[in-house]
Amino acid sequence: MMDPMVSTRVSIRWPPNPASEDCDVLVIQGRTGFFLDLRTFVDGHQRQGEIDWATAGWKKLLTASADGQPRASFTPLIDSRQRAPGYTPLPAVNEDSDESPPADEGTFTTLPNGDVLETGSLPNPDVPGSPIQEYEEVWRRLPLPKVVKCLILAREDDKVFWGRVAGWEVGMGVDDQGKFWATRRVLNGSGEWGVEGCGR
């Protein structure tokens, strides 16, 4: 079992470029390690409100790095970029082959201010051909109550997922026309759920 978690992203960096953030990112994780990760472009961006990336799937803890930092892998069951024009997702990993592409794995280092630095390698969709490049993401974990209620739902065909951790919800899926959608809701002080963002 894992601790429930709700995180927002502070910045992303593809070295040697400087760190930046043009997305509103919310990630929720339940006790089983199932996660929902929604990234939509911020207001003022030419693609504001659109999905940059949305995934839902399983997080698995890996052996710590050589210097003792936590590591984890992420296996999506649904991925918005696999449906986006011009994006070439990684082929399935063949564990018996030495030529398998790198998995979606990250190493996590807690920074002095409490934020968490994630490092690893992923396809960079902002570069033609989506080459594998090293990345650095800074995450900020949101405070949760002592007793955290979690709920993860999946449609039988694995085309729709919905999750709730404490006062945050993320949902995503593929509609009957084959279009990817995603949304997020937050519980306000009046005990009502309000939509904070959605995209396609």
d(CA 73, CA 175): 28
Mean pLDDT of 129-156: 96
Residues facing residue 121 across a β-bridge: 134
Q: Check whether 84 has a pLDDT greater than 90.
A: no
Full set of structural domains in the chain with CATH: 5-145 (2.40.128.320)
Predicted confidence (pLDDT) at residue 114 exceeds the cutoff of 90: yes
Rounded mean pLDDT, 177-190:
93
Residue with tokens 């082959």: 97
User: How many CA atoms does the CB half-sphere of 108 hold within 13 Å?
Assistant: 15
What is the pLDDT averaged over residues 126-154? 96
Q: How large a percentage of the chain has pLDDT more than 90?
A: 78
Q: Are 122 and 95 in contact (CB under 8 A)?
A: no
Q: Residues 116-143: what's their mean pLDDT?
A: 95
Full-model pTM: 0.89
CA distance linking residue 183 with residue 39, whole number of Å: 10
Answer yes or no: are the C-beta atoms of 168 and 152 closer than 8 Å: no
Looking at residue 184, its pLDDT comes to 96
Q: Amino acid letter at 171?
A: G
